[in-house]
Structure 1
Amino acid sequence: IEALIDDKTKAIFFETLTNPSIDVADIAAITAIAKKHGILTIVDNTVATPVLCRPLEHGVDVVVHSASKYTTGQGLAIGGIMVERHGLVDFIKGNARYPQFNEADESYHGLVYVDVPLPLFTLRARLSLLRDLGAVVSPFNSWLFIQGIETLSLRMREHSRNAQIVAEFLESHPMVKKVNYPGLKSNSNYANAQRYFENGMSSGLLSFEVESFEKAKQIVDATKLFSLVVNIGDSKSIITHPASTTHQQLSNEELVACGVPSGLIRLSIGLEASSDLIDDLAQAFGA
């Protein structure tokens, strides 16, 4: 990351848990690089949620979430969340990388954002960007998010428990080449998950590889309990073949380079009985 920084760099943007390669970022290492160069860090914490990971405690400046995933838990509403850390104004004030916060905004009668005693990053997003683009969440969607947040902690524990059981099943299956889930001790991300995630719980998202594009599609099509859609974080379990859906525009070489080989299958493990999910996968492997 550090080698890519130049005088035009505005932020380091990363995910706490990546989708669909299922890697866990070393948050402290990334924020240390950013602070050294006076750069903002913005992290997408959608998959882990604040229940499992709290990036602000590890030095991140701004945290964002797609609330359409675990926050609602039903895939019923589109929206987002943005939270900034305390004291961010002191970091941005006088920082030459961020003139839009330090110079007068003529569209607001010369307002200088760093002079306002409010969270300035989210303030400018609301006053300027949302004003111009109009991407404002509806009251009904907000109400749906509130209902989802009430059960978020319970759901994240159960998602993580179910995913751990399914990941262990997949790791032992002869047709599976590799399982990507940070809760597995054999996984290269296990140490980071133990460091940054609550009690090592690793959310409900996992992926695994089979021998080929064709075999992956066959397995996906043969499942009965899993829903074949591209969302994640629903209470129901979801199965996706990225190479033929979300990443279909990429070549085989590009798929491998971004950690999504053609035989990769992504699972968003829901709240059903783990034994039922395993039975469905087992029959799909044999189909």
Structure 2
Amino acid sequence: MISSQSIITKFGGERTTSDPSKFDRKSPIKIASTSAEFLQASCEKLSLPMGPRLHEECETKVPRGELADSSVEACQKAIEAAYAHVYGNAHLMDYERSVELESQLLNGEIAIKDFVKGIAKSEFYQRNFYANCSPMRTIELDFKHLLGRVPYSQSEISNFIALQAESGHGAVIDAMVDSAEYLETFGKHTVPYMRSWKSSAGAPQVTFNRTAAMSLGYAYSDKAIGAASQLNQSFSPQPNNIIVFPNGSDLEYMEMSMAWSGGRPPKIVTKIATVLTIAGLIEVTRVVAIVAFSAVAS
């Protein structure tokens, strides 16, 4: 039986085990220009807690307050993490960086949430994840890059495809980043990350399989995988939810006993296996020698 933790690490899911990148340089108070900004400001005045929120703790714990570093180093780390996640691990040239947004973030004029929205609307994102992709591929990547999960149903995808057709891709980005889900999960100052490796409250179990289909390890990028949907078959009347492992994956198997801590068998089991292996080799050698001697004697 394969350990779920070993599967996660082979697909690059170990990123979720480290602390998410955060940055917060207190920005000056500004007048809300959209309904989403007004509602967000109202929540802040009421001191309502917002992200980051672990969905496996839903219904047992409230969202915790955000504590974010305001140093230049934290800003640079958050910027690189945002590019890596929102651009799907694609290689980014210096001239393709959003220098103005980086400067605004460092100066406290915008928050991580605004930076994420800005680079998701950049020419780089439009060219690689919208212009040349099928509508379903575009939306499934938007879910991954902005909300840190895969779509739960075909209806979720269809609703955003309809919004995209009616109001453009920018409207889809606004709807996702300004959503209550985004704020409850990441807040304003945390870089989004792939969070659907674990069983989230209310999420179907097949989410894990779909996440594996969308995340093919460190060496892959969403740009290189192609423009066709990776989840189309998963939502068909006869879904195929088999996990396809990246080439060269070295899977670790789940321990058969609670004594196998750390994913390794006890020393006594290792010694027994070694003895049996040696005994087997001796027996094979003996049989080969007998056959060879019989052949020579005849």
TM normalised by structure 1 equals: 0.32
More helix by share: 2
Select the structure of larger CA radius of gyration. 2
TM-score, normalised on structure 2?
0.31
Higher strand content, 1 or 2? 1
